[in-house]
Structure 1
């Protein structure tokens, strides 16, 4: 089982962290604006008398006072527009948090359109102020200087800022639609599935069971969420110390300082890890495990499903009461689960040159992912026939796409739980008959049979 590229995964984590911040792109834009606002007037002064006549027609034609007025107007208006843009962004974040899920905030803060719009507005503002300081009226024993190219560029940037603001408002309206949010989460989760589970399901690998009494537990170095494991560093460490390292914590799981997250044991049965090596091994494992205060999609394919189910649970709350959104979110979750059903979800094994297993990285089973998707909607939405019907349809779709015994066993288990919950509900006879028929269709799918009448609008 080939390991993923640790350098790429580390780069992905850094890129994801920066992408979720609002400040990097505006900061770069401000720095470029300052450099351009200083450098372009110098070029302006150097070639002012050598510009061809056909070019000067398109450049700023006013005097020093007019140049000052233009630059002041651009700077003054853009700082107001920037404040408006920030306000709209904050309102969007508040709406996403209260209406859908706090976990969706990363979707908005990582939005490139928001970053580049703020960068354009702030960059134009800073550039105009920087150029404004170079305009000279000719008094106080200083020569008259009008940076015509610089002022023209300020005008062009101002027009671009207006266009950018209109595009930003249109984009914001589109992003506030729940279907857009669900599609974005689905796309990111699907891409992470391709990185985390690149192999199709096949013959399960033989996983070493452990070292018995010679096992040594390694506690978490700090509290937080498990974000990333540097598997290649662990492999080098395991080979150098002749041990087997098993990471027991799952991606995205909560870590508490001192609580075991990994297990070590010697490669050679009957041997004991030297006491001097234990401290170094614990330090090495701690250095290879990255944790943080907030989950990210990198190396954590389940985070996308968690976001979708958060939206589902929020939509089913009494304060929102939007079962249609819940049904649509479950549709996206079903598509991801069907993709997962065909992948190898077993532990990731890393071997040395002698084909001995040295590193074992546990990963969530399919039953874990399926329970993550079904459990909360079943708890909060079982009384709604539409939600119950979509959950049964989800199980039917997964059963049809999965042929691995573990997948089918997980579907059967969830179907039994659904039937137990359904038996306690007080539905009208027609709804109960329809839902029982849907449950029977799940049984058919588990046996490789599909009913054409399974489709219905949700």
Structure 2
């Protein structure tokens, strides 16, 4: 729920409107109580006009702010459309979750709502009413209007910066870094969640998916409690971010002792397992450590499309992907084991391995950028950087991708100088795999 609300545009503006209504009702009442007790030095700084002047000011603020709010919404929608069509639809969450955009919209709507709410309290003396001008409240509306003008200038500056592809990639990289450091610890062979996962027996029972959608989160504590209560071992073999179809197996369960489950135990285990697995209409970075890598690969693939043809952006995107893959290689990849208080393995959760990560970061750029030497060169540099930061047991997938890249290069009609450069980079990848880093001499 928290992750869903964070990526929506409406919660913060709605809160701003609610607070504005409360202030618009409360401040005029405070005005009526203390208007004869305000110190003279403070009165000089407050609104000092008549009731008609107060109405004019409040009407001007309300009218102008609703126009500015409409403009801001229009610019935001245009930015979302640009990000979706030119870069990736999965970048929309980055914009809708932007606190700067949400706060700016909240300020504009709050100022509009506050001015309207205070306007209803101004009395001009018509119809035998007592004249009342909430000087403090009108001054507050004036200050909110000034803050809104400043907010509009800062919003336009922020928007111009955010629509740059470099800023988008940096934001994606930063969010992915946060998710990786939150979910994946540094590699520790002695950790309780490491080790060899148990193999499911032939008579293991499938765990069906309750609702279709993308796997967004798994409640590890709830799964562990359910497995311990049923004296079972659970295997969840779908990664966060995977597309799930209701009724298909999410994983498997089997009794730890070999005794079959009773009908009541099996029914309860199915229910608790289904409750512990969350699905959504789209992928999120709540527990999906590969989501940021997916977004960067989308940007690279879109940059290599014939309609855009921007290999420089593709190269920069691969640089961000390389940094993420190298960071992930130093962390605990592969299955995560959850143990009970007696150190018995109860739950096995799948996590991506280096082969999955490399395929995600390289496969599509290699396919769509096969005819661009700069893209192939950056992929080779990615392999070299990964070979240097990885351990020997992680080298096989790197060697496999290197062989695939050499095959792709051989099939292209490159100039001799371009082919020689790619051959040299491939040799440097092999040297990095052997623990040697060579340095190019500048001529």
Q: Same fold (TM over 0.5)?
A: yes
User: Post-superposition shift, 1:98?
Assistant: 0.9
Contact 1:201 1:345 in 2 (8 A): no
- Alignment size in residue pairs: 440
Query: Which residue matches 2:232?
Result: 243
| 1:272 aligned counterpart, secondary structure | coil
**Where in structure 2 are the equivalents of 1:116-195 lying within 5 Å?**
116-195=103-182
Give the alignment of 1:75-154 within 5 angstroms: 75-154=62-141
| Superposition deviation, residue 202 in structure 1 | 3.0
Q: 1:381 — aligned with what? A: 369
Displaced runs of 4 or more, over 2 A: 201-204
- For 2:442 and 2:306, the matched residues in 1 are separated by 28
> What SS does the corresponding residue of 2:414 show, helix, strand or coil?
coil
Number of the residue aligned with 2:211:
222
CA shift digits 1:30-61 (9 cap, x unpaired): 00000000000000001111111111000001
Q: CA deviation at 1:282?
A: 1.1
Check conservation: 1:235, 1:358, Cα contact below 8 A. yes
1:71 positional shift: 0.2
How much has 1:212 moved relative to structure 2? 2.5
Q: CA deviation at 1:274?
A: 1.7
- Rounded to whole Å, the distance in 2 between the matches of 1:144 and 1:16 is 49
Q: 1:37 aligns with which of 2, 5, 24?
A: 24
Rounded Cα–Cα distance in structure 2 between residues aligned with 1:104 and 1:84: 22
* Partner Cα separation in structure 1 for residue 320 and residue 93 of structure 2: 19
CA distance 1:248–1:136, change in 2 (3 Å): same
> How do residues 195-344 of structure 1 correspond to structure 2 at under 5 angstroms?
195-202=182-189, 205-213=195-203, 215-269=204-258, 271-344=259-332
Deviation at 1:454, TM superposition (A): 9.2
Show the 5 A alignment for 1:435-454.
Answer: 435-453=422-440
> What secondary structure is seen at the aligned counterpart in 1 of 2:128?
coil
Does the residue aligned with 1:61 lie in a helix, a strand or coil? Answer: coil
Q: Counterpart in 2 of 1:5?
A: none
CA distance in 2, matches of 1:69, 1:333: 56
Query: Are 2:378 and 1:390 aligned?
Result: yes
- Secondary structure at 2:254's aligned position in 1? strand
Residues 388-423 of structure 1, C-alpha deviations (whole Å, 9 max, x = no match) = 000000000000000140x21111111011111111
Distance in structure 2 (CA, Å) of the matches to 1:354 and 1:137: 78
Q: Does 1:346 find its partner at 2:354? A: no
Deviation at 1:211, TM superposition (A): 2.7
Task: Provide Cα deviations, 1:407-440, integer angstroms capped at 9, x if missing partner.
Answer: 2111111101111111111101110011011011
In 1, the alpha carbon distance for the partners of 2:84 and 2:342 equals 51
C-alpha distance in 2 between matches for 1:211 and 1:240: 20
SS at match of 1:49: coil
**Structure 1 unaligned blocks of 5 or more:** 1-13
Aligned counterparts of 2:442 and 2:202: Cα–Cα separation in 1:
52
Say if 1:216 and 1:291 are closer, same or farther in 2 by CA, change over 3 A: same
Superimposed CA distance per residue, residues 140-167 of structure 1 (whole angstroms, 9 cap, x where no aligned partner): 1211100000000000000000000000
Counterpart mapping for 1:3-18 below 5 A? 14-18=1-5
RMSD: 1.3
Could you say which residue in structure 2 is the equivalent of 1:357?
Answer: 345
1:323 and 1:386 in contact (8 A); partners too: yes
Conserved? CA contact 1:311–1:326, under 8 Å: yes
SS in 1 for 2:35: helix
For structure 2, list consecutive stretches of 5 or more residues without a partner in the other structure.
none
- SS of equivalent to 2:348: strand
Alignment partner of 1:74 is 2:64: no
Instruction: Please list the CA deviations of residues 234-254 of structure 1 after superposition, one character each: whole Å capped at 9, or x if unmatched.
Output: 111111110001111111000
